[in-house]
């Protein structure tokens, strides 16, 4: 028996739905969530110490130090097998969000 166009369409639709369910959409959602968390952290870190005006340089030094320490653990020369790669990726997404938030704050101050 020949397949009709409707049967082919339904089969294609079911195939695409099953492939969508098997993808790692949760990984994408979590990465976006962690980037937004990093963006929120950077906004909090850049506005709270800046209220007094004298903590700006100290806050920037702390942010850069923490940022570089995270990079040191994320990109070592010999990757440690005891550290979970998922945990390192999540910390890296938070770091990317912090960097993005600091760039946005710099553009807000520059305009």
Q: Could you read off the pLDDT of 18-55 as tens digits, one per residue?
A: 666 556 666 777 888 889 998 998 888 777 776 766 77
Task: Kindly state whether residue 10 falls inside one of the protein's structural domains.
Answer: no
Neighbouring CB atoms inside 10 A of 92's CB total 19
Task: Kindly state whether residue 41 falls inside one of the protein's structural domains.
Answer: yes
Task: Kindly state whether residue 55 falls inside one of the protein's structural domains.
Answer: yes
Chain-wide mean pLDDT for the chain?
77
**Is 111 a residue whose pLDDT tops 70?**
no
What does the CA dihedral 77, 79, 85, 90 come to, rounded to 10 degrees?
Answer: -30
What Å distances lie between residue 93 and 7, 8, 17, 34, 98, CA to CA? 43, 41, 28, 6, 9
Task: Kindly state whether residue 66 falls inside one of the protein's structural domains.
Answer: yes
pLDDT digits (tens, 9 = 90+) for 53-66: 677 677 778 878 88
Task: Kindly state whether residue 8 falls inside one of the protein's structural domains.
Answer: no
Domain total in the chain: 1
Does pTM surpass 0.75?
Answer: no
Cβ contact 43:101 at 8 Å: yes
Q: Which domain holds residue 69?
A: 24-110
Task: Kindly state whether residue 74 falls inside one of the protein's structural domains.
Answer: yes
């Amino acid at each position: 028996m020949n397949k009709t166009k409707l049967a082919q369409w339904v089969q294609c639709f079911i195939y695409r739905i099953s492939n969508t369910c098997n993808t790692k959409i949760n990984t994408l959602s979590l990465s976006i969530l962690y980037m937004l968390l990093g963006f929120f952290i950077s906004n909090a870190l850049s506005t709270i110490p800046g209220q007094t005006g004298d903590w700006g340089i100290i806050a920037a030094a702390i942010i850069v130090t923490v940022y570089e320490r995270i990079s040191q653990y994320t990109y070592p020369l010999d990757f440690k097998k005891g550290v979970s790669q998922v945990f390192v990726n999540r910390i890296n997404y938070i770091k990317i969000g912090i960097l993005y938030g600091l760039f946005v704050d710099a553009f807000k101050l520059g305009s």
